[in-house]
Chain A
């Protein structure tokens, strides 16, 4: 009974209701502008809400968090600049849709799927938090390393026409991610004694450059062509569309919750892994992946919003942050006199249910704000390129500067923009570079921790890999995914599909297009 009352607090108190709504609205726009991050906004709110009561402060932060994670998709779809790292995978198919005049449809499906993903995340938080946090804590450094290896295999999905070029770009990304002072030993790597390189290359600057600026430069080729007319007949996806993608969205939401609950991995990795999953399980996409497949939007957007609920799981049950934003919220709870830790749920279950309630409300607000104003936003893509290209450049520069208030980051961003343009021109995929940068720390740090834990013995390391059930499952997944990308396996699959098509003439011959793309 108390739990229900605490859950409903946010709906019954008008001030809290308004703060969640306001936060979500602001979050959508904070999230949409590259460089303005939810982390930044929430940390500013700590000082701002210092003298408030704890409930309004948390309500506002939750709104911003939920809205912000969704907001990143907006610019990813319209301009090919992911507003946040977790929207990278969204750009891969969202932007091609916008270029074909389906920006409204893309935003619509993204919004609905974010809502579904967010809801799954909250539901898991509400009913299974202790269970999931125990599972998340069972991940050892070796398992994190295997997860990173699993992530690296995504290069296969992101590579496009040439796997060799994809692997090259993935390796380049890994190297870029290791530049700077190694945070474990404080040894400098690839810095050439330049103070400039000491703190590493800003990952956000690389992302904005590779996606935004290189796109702006490519658009210069067609500067005279008329902009694509956008059809905005259908914004809210039909029930049949939603139902068709429901199985996939449930799978990717689950993936999102778990990756979100792991301390040390968040929405960005969740979204990319979900994208890869979608590509593997979807037999017949209406359009090939990378060319505007709806599944390519469904997967990352459900996963990154499900990761929000996931991130709260270790925070609420153990006082361990699931990501950067929940880390700040733990600080906020401290400041307001609560002691977030394993006892919080025991001593103050009301707080838990209040947060669940606020998340539910924020999720509804996100749906509402996401579906309104789409017509206006879509106009951005209809602007003449002479206006659009400078706009992308402006947004990219502002975004790169805002991350660390550093002009150096702007130079990096521009440099990577030009570099990315040439890569694109010669058919090198840009996705794997970002993937490499995201995964390099996870892979590098955890490999070192894992091997140090075994005191440098490679034999013990492999014995551990096959004796721990979790490691074994991850290890087998790595092997299976690897084999499933090899030519003999694909030939076997094609033969099997051909046989099946013969025996069942109604069924069209397999999803060849997507298979061959890999």
Chain B
């Protein structure tokens, strides 16, 4: 502790120094901890480390970031949830906790938290290795029907983006007879795609876009209702099959959270700080480059967004037979 936090504090001191201390009246009077659910170098980590310096400036306090990994992020979530609700510990995470309950990964999720900011949402894309024997989504489906179980799909475990997108396809097309090869993240899986260990990977646009532009991967479809600006030549999946539109738009998201019971004053200050941080041009630019849709919502709006996300995704996985417990057990309403 001593060494790590001293070290971090020493480095963060420079940032705090630049900020004006006169802004700090009541909250925050001391340094804030930010617990990142995922490992260093991942997309959650990158987003949070990019947005936080500006929030520190607004708050006039340093936010010491720390990666607490394991259990699909559940370790970090439980750690923050069981800590003090005083606004000095933030949880920085992605969409996964909304699936913990049905996946049997834990008993807590974002319903035990107040959203400070939901910063951005990702767009899923279906990519294939460049020499795969199909060029579009339709051709891929036709090939799969002729060669059942032969096509290798990358996956990142139950509840990950690939499993959700694959469930959508299976549901819309009445089955998806392919072989799933598990990887521990979309980074390693996309590497495997380029080394031809797998044929198709449902990934987040930002992770694949550079390789797509360079011709190292073949885009089959973007998993959206409309075309996306970053790749204007790629067809949306709902054009191939209208049944997809009922799930879309869907995508992973990133957000900052505090435990329920945190004082109102702290919540509003944090909301303000992250709102300003999310609106900086450099952050917008970063999100745009990586193919994320900027959201920057908080409060009721963010809660409604998550309720809807949880309801549609958990029921989709339930119908695909991928859950351990039914969403019904947790009073998650079925989408109309």
By a beta-carbon cutoff of 8 Å, the part of chain A in contact with chain B is: 33, 35-36, 39-48, 50-51, 137-141, 180-181, 183-186, 198-200, 263-264, 314, 318-321, 324, 327-328, 330-331, 334-335, 337, 339-344, 398, 401-402, 404-405, 445, 448-449, 452-453, 455
Is B246's beta carbon under 8 Å from chain A?
no
B213 at the interface (CB under 8 A from A): yes
The answer, among B4, B11, B157, for a CB contact under 8 Å with A184, is B157
CB contact under 8 A between A327 and B40, given known A50-B53, A185-B158: yes
B210, closest chain A residue (CB): A341
If the complex has contacts A47-B12, A452-B181, are A342 and B149 also in contact, measured as CB distance less than 8 A?
no
| Minimal beta-carbon separation of B63 from chain A (angstroms) | 8
Q: Which residues of B contact A137 (CB under 8 A)?
A: 191, 194-195
| B1 neighbours in A (Cβ, 8 Å) | 401-402, 405
Q: What residues of chain B lie closer than 8 Å to A184, measured between beta carbons?
A: 157, 182-184
Of B40, B53, B180, B181, chain A has the most CB atoms within 10 Å of the CB of B40
Most buried by B among A263, A330, A340, A448: A263
Q: How far is the CA of A330 from the CA of B45 in the complex (A)?
A: 12
Is B330 an interface residue, CB under 8 A from the partner?
no
B204-216 interface bits toward A, Cβ cutoff 8 Å, 1 = contact, 0 = none: 0000011101111
Measured between beta carbons, the chain B residues less than 8 angstroms from A263 are 188, 191
- The answer to whether B75 and A199 have CB atoms under 8 Å apart is yes
Query: In the complex, what distance in Å separates the CA atom of A453 from the CA atom of B180?
Result: 8
Contact, CB under 8 Å: B187 / A321: yes
| Given contact pairs A324-B41, A405-B4, A449-B182, A337 touches B71 in the complex (Cβ within 8 A) | no
What residues of A have a CB within 8 angstroms of the CB of B8 in the complex? 44
11 additional contacts, CB 8 Å, given A185-B158, A328-B40, A452-B179?
A: A47-B53, A140-B195, A181-B71, A183-B184, A186-B157, A327-B41, A334-B286, A335-B46, A401-B4, A404-B68, A449-B197
A-B pairs with lowest CB-CB distance, top 7: A341-B210, A199-B70, A327-B41, A342-B214, A184-B182, A331-B46, A43-B40
Q: Which residues of A contact B50 (CB under 8 A)?
A: 46, 50, 335
Interface residue ranges, B against A (CB under 8 Å): 1-5, 7-8, 11-12, 14-15, 39-42, 45-46, 49-50, 52-53, 65-72, 74-75, 103, 105, 149, 152, 157-159, 179-184, 187-188, 190-192, 194-197, 209-211, 213-216, 282, 285-286, 289-290
Contacts of B183 in A (CB 8 A): 184, 449
Alpha-carbon separation in the docked complex, A48 to B285 (Å): 19
How many angstroms between the C-alpha atoms of A345 and B134 in the bound complex?
29
CB of B195 within 8 A of CB of A139, answer yes
B4 touches A43 (CB 8 A): no
Q: Which one of B3, B11, B70 contacts A45 once the chains associate, using CB atoms below 8 Å?
A: B11
Least Cβ distance of A362 to chain B in Å?
19
- In the complex, are the beta carbons of A339 and B45 less than 8 A apart? no
> Chain A contacts of B45 at CB under 8 A?
43, 328, 331
Most interface-central of A50, A141, A343, A455 (chain B CB within 10 A) = A50
A334: chain B residues at CB < 8 Å are 46, 286, 289-290
A44 touches B11 (CB 8 A): yes
Provide the bound-state CA to CA distance between A138 and B196, in Å.
8
Inside 8 A of B194's CB, which chain A residues have their CB?
137, 318, 320
Query: Which residue of B4, B15, B72, B215 contacts A402 across the interface (Cβ within 8 Å)?
Result: B4
- Our pick among A183, A337, A343 for the contact of B285 (Cβ within 8 Å) is A337
Least distance between B203 CB and chain A CB atoms (Å): 13
Q: Contact check: which of B53, B184, B190 meets A51 at CB < 8 Å?
A: B53
Please tell me if the beta carbons of B2 and A398 are within 8 angstroms of each other in the complex. Answer: yes
| Alpha-carbon separation in the docked complex, A335 to B11 (Å) | 19
Report whether B11 and A48 are in contact in the complex, using a CB–CB cutoff of 8 Å: yes
Q: Which of A320, A404, A448, A455 contacts B182 (CB 8 A)?
A: A448
Known contacts A43-B67, A48-B11, A319-B211; is A337 also within 8 Å of B289 by CB?
Answer: yes
Complex CA–CA separation, A43 to B190 (angstroms) = 23
B72 — which chain A residues lie within 8 A by C-beta?
181, 186
Chain B residues whose C-beta falls within 8 Å of the C-beta of A335 in the assembled complex: 46, 49-50, 286
Q: List 20 A-B contacts (CB under 8 A).
A: A39-B40, A42-B40, A43-B45, A44-B11, A44-B12, A184-B183, A199-B69, A199-B70, A199-B75, A264-B188, A320-B190, A320-B194, A324-B39, A337-B285, A341-B214, A342-B214, A343-B213, A404-B68, A452-B179, A453-B179
